[in-house]
Amino acid sequence: VKSSVVSVDGPAAAGKTTTSLAVAEIFDMKYLESGRAYRVLAYEALRSGVDPTDPKKMVALCSKISRGDRVSELLGLNRYTAGELRSLAVGRTVSKVAGIAELRRRVTNSVHIWAAGNRRSIVEGRDIGTVVFPTAVPKFYLTASAETRARRRLAQEGSGSLKEVFEDVVRRDRADTTRSASPLVPASDAIIIDTTELSIEQVVDRMAEACGASG
């Protein structure tokens, strides 16, 4: 089977998950949230007291997590609850973990293995259209103002104050765009959608149109 991938990248809380799930449903594609892998690594580091900035220790932890079934354990397809992976503590730690190049290599490898089993899939993250699947078609880059994104995240998850959530969003934007390993940047051929003034339906319509056009 030839596998083809649609990529959806962009900063935290730009609406990637909600819209990607809707597009996946319309076109009967498999869906993967690659950020789960970095969250699994952050969660396990916090749980076992491993320093999330220590590449050697984090790589050892990664090997331990993926010892059984490398792909589904690391991608967080089993076991983890939303509460575990989406806590503020994990949110604060995840960008540190995501800056470690060897971990990115391993996550990328697992995503490739996952996608190879599917005819068509939609993969969401930060570096999907630039690094993980440079040949993805179409590529989307979703963004919105930081305040809008903080408000949406708070409305959806309801943990913490607006100030805390806003600060988490801004901190992660900074960490994700300035890291040396695969920084967050739109691919040169990405369709950029600023969702600040758009409804979910409007964003999904635009995405679906582009996906339909690319077969």
User: Quick check: 121 binds ligand C5P (CB under 6 A)?
Assistant: no
Please say whether the beta carbons of 169 and 146 come within 8 A. yes
Residue 10 labelled as part of a binding site = yes
Residue 178 labelled as part of a binding site = no
Burial of 36 by CB count in 10 Å (0-12 exposed, 13-18 middle, 19+ buried)? Answer: buried
Beta-strand runs (E) in the chain: 4-9, 30-33, 120-125, 139-143, 191-194
Please say whether the beta carbons of 181 and 111 come within 8 A. no
User: Quick check: 19 binds ligand C5P (CB under 6 A)?
Assistant: no
Taking contact as CB under 6 A, which single stretch among the options 53-61, 90-98, 135-143, 198-206 is the one that binds ligand C5P? Answer: 90-98
Minimum distance from CB of 32 to ligand C5P (Å)? Answer: 10
CA-based nearest residue to 41, from 30, 52, 49, 54: 52
User: Quick check: 15 binds ligand C5P (CB under 6 A)?
Assistant: no
User: Quick check: 172 binds ligand C5P (CB under 6 A)?
Assistant: yes
Contact mark string toward ligand C5P, 187..206, x via CB under 6 A: --------------------
Q: Which residues form the interface with ligand C5P (CB under 6 A)?
A: 12, 34-35, 38-39, 94-95, 98, 125-128, 172, 176
